[in-house]
Structure 1
Amino acid sequence: MKNYLLPFFLIFSFNFYAQTAQDTLDIKKAALAYIEAQHNPNPKLMESALHPRMVKRSVFRNKIAQKDFVSEFFAENMIILAETYNIKGDKFPKNPRKELKLLDVSEKTASVKLIADAWIDYMHIVKINGEWKIINVLWQYNDVLQHE
């Protein structure tokens, strides 16, 4: 005897998550806060976007040893960077590029690509205690020669 109910149970046993409009707004808000806090020095805005255990990584080349290495920045470094990096207002064009692409969104996690003027950031953003916070960033310069 064939079990005709099996397909029914398989279809409805999965937990489908629909991204809400508010999730989309909040994810974009966190990603934009990250870059805008650098455009217009604002450490509080940067802090609001980051999970306290955020790590930002990239790969650079040590010219002397001729070896690649991974650099790491943490939330504290990024907050200080937001306060000091563009203090003279000369690090970005007048209308800086900040293009966001939501690559994937689940109930508690999102992957976002930020294309800025000189670099690309891939971000993992988590929903924790009802708020979306950046927890990982992997980035590179558009000109990979700047990694040497």
Structure 2
Amino acid sequence: MKKYLLVITIIFYSFKIQAQTAQDTLDIKRVALAYIESQHTPNPKLMEGALHPRMVKRSVFRNKTAQKDFISEFFAENMVILAETYNVKGDKFPKNPRKEVKLLDVSAKTASIKLYADEWIDYMHIVKTNGEWKIINVLWQYNDVSKHE
């Protein structure tokens, strides 16, 4: 009986350490949505607020001439500029753009999420620093992988 109580206590303690609060869940989703919504309605301040200053966004593309894959990289500064300029004419997204956030894993200081947006999928790592959740890594691809060539 003591063994069972010990095991239950250890399991409970483990979950308690790893669990996030309801507010963490809301904040993680808010940050992921800010990332995409700042592009829907150009808003560089919203994008900047969602990103850790050392954020890197990556994807793999194919160089047709060299017939080799390469990794593209964008940084926080690039994403803030993108949020300011990408959709200024309002023609880059449908009237009701898709923005679905799926939490894959959440711990006390880190989270992994999958963002489904219209033409692409973004996998994000979100980190809690100084009490705030910020996007630190993004790995993305188009739904239509032929666009990576």
Amino acid corresponding to residue 9 of structure 2 in structure 1: F
CA positional deviation for 1:20: 1.2
2:145 counterpart residue number: 144
Amino acid corresponding to residue 61 of structure 2 in structure 1: F
Farther-moved stretch of structure 1 (10-19 vs 61-70): 10-19
2:85 counterpart residue number: 84
Amino acid corresponding to residue 126 of structure 2 in structure 1: I
Greater Cα radius of gyration, structure 1 or 2: 1
Q: What is the rounded CA distance, in whole Å, between the counterparts of 1:144 and 1:72 in structure 2?
A: 17
State whether structure 2 residue 98 is matched by structure 1 residue 97.
yes
- What TM-score comes out, normalization by structure 1 length? 0.93
Q: Deviations over 1:2-53 (max 9, x none)?
A: xx75554454345323221101100000000000000000000000000000
Q: Deviations over 1:95-142 (max 9, x none)?
A: 100011011111111111000000000000011111000000000000
2:132 counterpart residue number: 131
1:15 counterpart residue number: 14
Q: What is the rounded CA distance, in whole Å, between the counterparts of 1:129 and 1:9 in structure 2?
A: 34
3-state secondary structure, aligned to 2:14: coil
- What TM-score comes out, normalization by structure 2 length? 0.92
Q: Deviations over 1:48-104 (max 9, x none)?
A: 000000000000000000000000000000000000000111100011000110111
Identity %: 80
Which residues of structure 2 form unaligned runs of 5+? Answer: none
Give the number of aligned pairs: 145
State whether structure 2 residue 50 is matched by structure 1 residue 49.
yes
Q: What is the rounded CA distance, in whole Å, between the counterparts of 1:77 and 1:9 in structure 2?
A: 51
CA RMSD in angstroms comes to 1.3
2:110 counterpart residue number: 109
Q: What is the rounded CA distance, in whole Å, between the counterparts of 1:143 and 1:118 in structure 2?
A: 8
State whether structure 2 residue 101 is matched by structure 1 residue 119.
no
Which residues of structure 1 form unaligned runs of 5+? Answer: none
Amino acid corresponding to residue 125 of structure 2 in structure 1: H
3-state secondary structure, aligned to 1:15: helix
